[in-house]
Amino acid sequence: MKKLINAADDVLAESLAGFAAAHPELRVDHVNRIVYRGEPKPHGTVALLSGGGTGHEPLHAGFVGFGMLDAAVAGEVFTSPTPDQIMEATARVDTGAGVLHIVKNYTGDVMNFEMAAELGGSIPVETVVVADDVAVEDSTFTAGRRGTGVTVLLEKIVGAAAEQGRDLAEIGALARHIATSGRSMGMALTSGTLPAVGKPTFDLPETEMEIGVGIHGEPGRRRVPLASAREVAEMLVEPILADRSFAAAPTIVMLNGMGATPLIELYLMFGEVKSILDRAGVTIARSLVGDYITSLDMAGCSVTILEADNDTLALWDAPVATPALRWGM
């Protein structure tokens, strides 16, 4: 295993220390492993909290800041944060208007966020569970579809709405609307390697690829021979379009890298995805290309398509200033 680490057991703590050093505008609670804004929102503004296992960077800590999250809670690699961590983060970011919990649909995440909301006392909490992966209906880690790329888009859109001062009920309703308006599907050329394990999560021969892989290395729909970028794009986009029509409204499309795929290939893939969507009559109003929700050092990519109305596009275009997403400031 070749990794830039000191000791496998110290990766999370030392990564958070480096994150704090690189982003002095944010704060890190190293005991509870919470990244939060250095300058809180005004009193009476809804706060946004997300989190999950590490290894998916920049998700979630990289999206803490103006226009997105108020805080992110970090679990161990591919492991949910605990209810105590989530409760502490909820109390820390609440300004009196309540907190929205943004949860990816994995059993541990859903259970621990639910427990934190139930035990959190008098703070009003709304919860949205993101379940956008069309590859499988159920997996080892989920009841229902896995939560993937829509999470990033939701955090941006709903984060902008919170900055406008919308109340918790409206924020919760918007979040659930966004969560149900998008679909994603991913693929892998290689497996990621957990530092504590020291070997790839799964074996993938040089001549094969996994279609529909999960962000923790969960198996997808099928393993197939290597194919061209054009064919891979079809394998990702066609199941999304078969699951939901996107021809009636403009869309936001994210071409996301899994951690080890260079941008030259991601942009090439975006071109192939756009060609397929053009032929299907799907209009791309906004796009995002890069590493936004990764699986350690996995090579591969995912496609996310989100239906967007005028309000959604205006919220997408609103200013944002986070370590991993920044414009309009």
Catalytic residue of the set 23, 60, 101, 216: 216
Identify which of 108, 112, 87, 107 has the alpha carbon closest to the alpha carbon of residue 99: 87
Helix (H) / strand (E) element for 187: namely: strand 182-188
Whether 177 is a known active-site residue: answer: no
Catalytic residue of the set 23, 56, 60, 101: 56
- CA dist 151 → 51, 170, 191 (Å): 11, 18, 22
CA 192 to chain CA mean position, Å: 17
- Distance (Å, whole) CA 86 – CA 313: 30
Residues 6+ apart with CB under 8 A from 271: none
- Angle between helices 83-93 and 107-119 in degrees, nearest 10: 50
Helix (H) / strand (E) element for 184: namely: strand 182-188
**Both tokens assigned to 11:** 């990766």
Catalytic residue positions? 56, 216
